[in-house]
A and B are shown apart, each in its own frame.
Chain A
Amino acid sequence: MSEPRGVTAWLGARVHEAWFAPGDARDLGVVRALLAGMLLILSFWYQRSFELWGTLQPWVWDPVWLYRATPPGAPGAPILLAVLWTWRVALLLLAVGLWTRASAIVAALTGLLVLGLPQNLGKVNHDYGLVMVCLMVLAVSQAGDAWSLDRLRHIVRDAEGPFRREEARRGPEYRWPLVLMQLMGTLVLFTAGLAKLQSPGAMAWVMSDNLQNTFVRHFYTHDPPLRIGLWLASVPVLSRALAGGALLLELGAPLLLLLRGRLRAVVTTMVMLMLIAFGLVLGVLFLHFVLALGILFLPWRLLGARLAAQLPVRSFTLIYDGSCRLCRKTVGVIAAMDLMERVEVRDALRDWPGLSGRFPSLTQAQCLESMHVVRSDGRTYAGFAAYRALAWAIPGWWPLLPVLYLPGVPQVGQMVYERIAARRLEQGCPVPVSAGTEMTGRETRS
């Protein structure tokens, strides 16, 4: 139990904890990658005619506050195209986490034009609000410290000393951005509920024919893809129950911040399904908003771990020369990309006493000369074949798998491997124990 303290100190501690308790860098990294990836993919549909805004005369121009100081009308089509592609490149870099801070700032600034410009043209589209806010938060955050190429670059740069599998990076810098984005998402829903309390009032909104009329009305002004709205409108009890449920979910949205684990996932899914269902029934689907909610609130790492546990992917023991800096860099990158934690990394020098007992068919000299990988069923790979075997265990390498099995690729790959291994010896990474080996580039069973 906590020690007794005054309400101000207690509240201060709680608020501080809520915002700045140590968070996991991987959680923020996943959100960054998914959010930027989602915006990038959707941009090829939602912004496919973006440059056309530049051909419009300012007859429809009604600026939101951000644009009131700018001349009326959109910039020309070539400028819009340039900005759009800058945004897309920035989103791609942000998704993979390369030059993360810079790409997040560029994505946020260009996003103000790409996502913001249409808001000045007749009507504000609320679909883009939350994702724009998230881009601004990411620009200020340290979102590139995990699940990013920046992290791999950092590992390669700092490959001094013996290899150690990285501990999960934790700190307040990985919590507050996530909490802020989540809070902004729930506030959008909460203010929607609040708006219904303001006018027409909860009872009037839920118990009147309001939602039934809304369902039917949208067939006059929009093109709803489903006709189920007409049926719902004919069952008043159902419409009212839906209205009540929607209002409850909206007003209760901030509670999502307090929920954890499975319960949070279930409630988030319910909110997302509600928004998708209303979107299909009314013909107005706020896809960016719905997906952003899912990205912010679903426990992605937990889901990933569960999925990884189900996948029929074998585990491997990777044995490398721990005295070689190049090998340490390589192994550091492999370990950082081993998201399913299927690869056990062992140093052929430091860990040999244990390894020799486990893998009697291997000699230390073989393992020092080229990287060896032993699969859980005992099959052993060396050189290029070792990399190819590891590609099955590392999700980021899966797209390469078909290429690695193409005729000729193993031969070229082995040649490249041997050349790099030879250069490693020339560049001051001598094999500490001299012994001949014939194992590179082939598979054996121990």
Chain B
Amino acid sequence: MPRVIEFLYHTDTPILRHVLGGRAGLPLSEYLADWRARLPALFLGLAAVTAFLLLLTHGGVRSLIDRALGPPPAPGAMAPRAGMTCPRWLVVNATIAAMLGAQLLEVFVPGDRWPFSPYAMYASEHGPSFSWRGVYGVSDGREFRLRDPRAIAPIDPIRLSYAFADRHRREWTVVPPQDSMLRAVASLYERTRLNGDHAGLPLGAIRLYENTWLLRRDLANVEAPARHVLLHEVRLDE
């Protein structure tokens, strides 16, 4: 499979690229790593299905299930196509196949096909330190993190952080420079401020930082990260 991925990565057939989900915007190593990460689940899934089918070949197992669920319908008791018309039967089965197929595709094939997106529910491994992109405003020489959702509505601070952190991952749009992204955030802030949605002062500058924290349960360093690296700044008062 890695060879297939490599071949597809380098191939230039438009249809194939479309099937693959767009331009190969990431290095090949990322696609291979993603495949390796999904391999255990694929193996586990196939092994579980095979084991289940093998178990079912044993009549005793089937009897056990019958005892738990009640006897299965007799062959003659099942109406052909469950009593539905042929077109309706096709629609119903196509719906079931499409929904389940899309959900299973999400498990085994990289991508995020909303509304079938895989939701990992905090599966990522978190260590005692982490880095996070944060947007800061500067008013009267005082710097503050934009954490109030009302100040940058409809964007929220989490979405904002992802928007900056994942810029290089965007495969389907021309990614605007950080400068114009920060200006856009500043204009959101100014609009909500003028609307009276928050009591913030006008911004003199807006900054993007890469923060690294060492986690503390007393939260004493929330506003004082161990590393606070300025990535970009836009002066608004010039």
Contacts of A210 in B (CB 8 A): 125-126
Q: Which among A132, A194, A204 has the highest number of chain B CB atoms within 10 Å?
A: A194
Contacts of B69 in A (CB 8 A): 14, 258
Are B114 and A124 closer than 8 Å at their CB atoms? yes
Flag A28-64 by CB within 8 Å of B: 1 or 0 each.
Answer: 0000000000000000000001101101111111111
Tell me the complex Cα distance, A20–B96, Å: 12
| Among A217-225, A324-332, A396-404, A411-419, the stretch in contact with B | A217-225
Contacts of A209 in B (CB 8 A): 127-128
Are B115 and A115 closer than 8 Å at their CB atoms? yes
Tell me the complex Cα distance, A140–B92, Å: 8
Are A217 and B154 closer than 8 Å at their CB atoms? no
Contacts of B173 in A (CB 8 A): 58, 61-63, 72
Are A3 and B74 closer than 8 Å at their CB atoms? yes
Contacts of B119 in A (CB 8 A): 126, 129, 188, 191-192
Q: Which residue of A lies closest to B98 (CB)?
A: A136
Are A183 and B100 closer than 8 Å at their CB atoms? yes
Contacts of B56 in A (CB 8 A): 7, 10-11
Tell me the complex Cα distance, A223–B122, Å: 16
CB < 8 Å: which of A21, A60, A64 contacts B73? Answer: A21
**If the complex has contacts A17-B73, A122-B159, A188-B119, are A1 and B63 also in contact, measured as CB distance less than 8 A?**
yes
| Among A171-179, A295-303, A365-373, the stretch in contact with B | A171-179
**If the complex has contacts A20-B82, A63-B173, A199-B123, are A68 and B22 also in contact, measured as CB distance less than 8 A?**
yes
Contacts of B118 in A (CB 8 A): 191-192, 195
Are A116 and B72 closer than 8 Å at their CB atoms? no
CB < 8 Å: which of B78, B91, B125, B157 contacts A13? Answer: B78
Contacts of B162 in A (CB 8 A): 122-123
**If the complex has contacts A128-B115, A133-B116, A197-B40, are A7 and B163 also in contact, measured as CB distance less than 8 A?**
no
Are A137 and B95 closer than 8 Å at their CB atoms? yes
Are A62 and B170 closer than 8 Å at their CB atoms? yes
Contacts of B161 in A (CB 8 A): 221
Contacts of A128 in B (CB 8 A): 115
A162 to chain B minimum Cβ distance, whole angstroms, is: 28
Are A14 and B82 closer than 8 Å at their CB atoms? no
Tell me the complex Cα distance, A188–B118, Å: 7
The answer, yes or no, to whether B132 is at the interface (CB within 8 Å) is: yes
Tell me the complex Cα distance, A282–B123, Å: 14
Contacts of B27 in A (CB 8 A): none
The answer, yes or no, to whether A309 is at the interface (CB within 8 Å) is: no
**If the complex has contacts A2-B66, A20-B82, are A66 and B126 also in contact, measured as CB distance less than 8 A?**
no
| Among B3-11, B200-208, B211-219, B229-237, the stretch in contact with A | B211-219
Flag B13-46 by CB within 8 Å of A: 1 or 0 each.
Answer: 0000000011000000000000001101100100
Are B163 and A60 closer than 8 Å at their CB atoms? yes
The answer, yes or no, to whether B117 is at the interface (CB within 8 Å) is: yes
The answer, yes or no, to whether B194 is at the interface (CB within 8 Å) is: no
The answer, yes or no, to whether B87 is at the interface (CB within 8 Å) is: no
Are A116 and B115 closer than 8 Å at their CB atoms? yes
Contacts of A116 in B (CB 8 A): 114-115
A197 to chain B minimum Cβ distance, whole angstroms, is: 7
Are A65 and B21 closer than 8 Å at their CB atoms? yes
Chain B residues 33 to 92 lying within 8 A of chain A, measured CB to CB, are 37-38, 40-41, 44, 53, 56-57, 59, 62-63, 65-66, 69, 71-75, 78, 82-84, 91-92
Are A230 and B217 closer than 8 Å at their CB atoms? yes
**If the complex has contacts A65-B113, A216-B217, are A195 and B123 also in contact, measured as CB distance less than 8 A?**
yes
Are B216 and A124 closer than 8 Å at their CB atoms? no
Contacts of A123 in B (CB 8 A): 158-159, 162-163
Are A197 and B159 closer than 8 Å at their CB atoms? no
The answer, yes or no, to whether B106 is at the interface (CB within 8 Å) is: yes
Are A16 and B154 closer than 8 Å at their CB atoms? no
Tell me the complex Cα distance, A297–B124, Å: 28
The answer, yes or no, to whether A213 is at the interface (CB within 8 Å) is: yes
Are B73 and A140 closer than 8 Å at their CB atoms? no
A350 to chain B minimum Cβ distance, whole angstroms, is: 33
The answer, yes or no, to whether A9 is at the interface (CB within 8 Å) is: yes
The answer, yes or no, to whether B166 is at the interface (CB within 8 Å) is: yes
The answer, yes or no, to whether A437 is at the interface (CB within 8 Å) is: no
Contacts of B217 in A (CB 8 A): 216, 230, 233-234
Contacts of B115 in A (CB 8 A): 115-116, 128-130, 132-133, 136
- Other contacts beyond A133-B99, A183-B100, A221-B158: 14, CB < 8 A: A3-B74, A13-B73, A59-B163, A59-B176, A123-B159, A123-B162, A124-B114, A126-B119, A130-B115, A133-B116, A199-B125, A200-B125, A219-B222, A222-B158
Ordered nearest first, which 4 A-B pairs have the shortest CB separation? Answer: A122-B163, A132-B115, A126-B119, A192-B121
9 A–B pairs (Cβ distance < 8 Å), ordered by A: A1-B66, A13-B73, A62-B169, A122-B162, A126-B117, A132-B114, A180-B100, A198-B123, A204-B125
Instruction: Name A's B-contacting residues (CB within 8 A).
Output: 1-5, 7, 9-11, 13-14, 16-17, 19-21, 49-50, 52-53, 55-66, 68, 72, 115-116, 118-119, 121-124, 126, 128-130, 132-133, 136-137, 140, 171-173, 176, 180, 183-184, 187-189, 191-192, 194-200, 204-205, 208-211, 213-214, 216-217, 219-223, 230, 233-234, 246, 250, 258, 278, 282
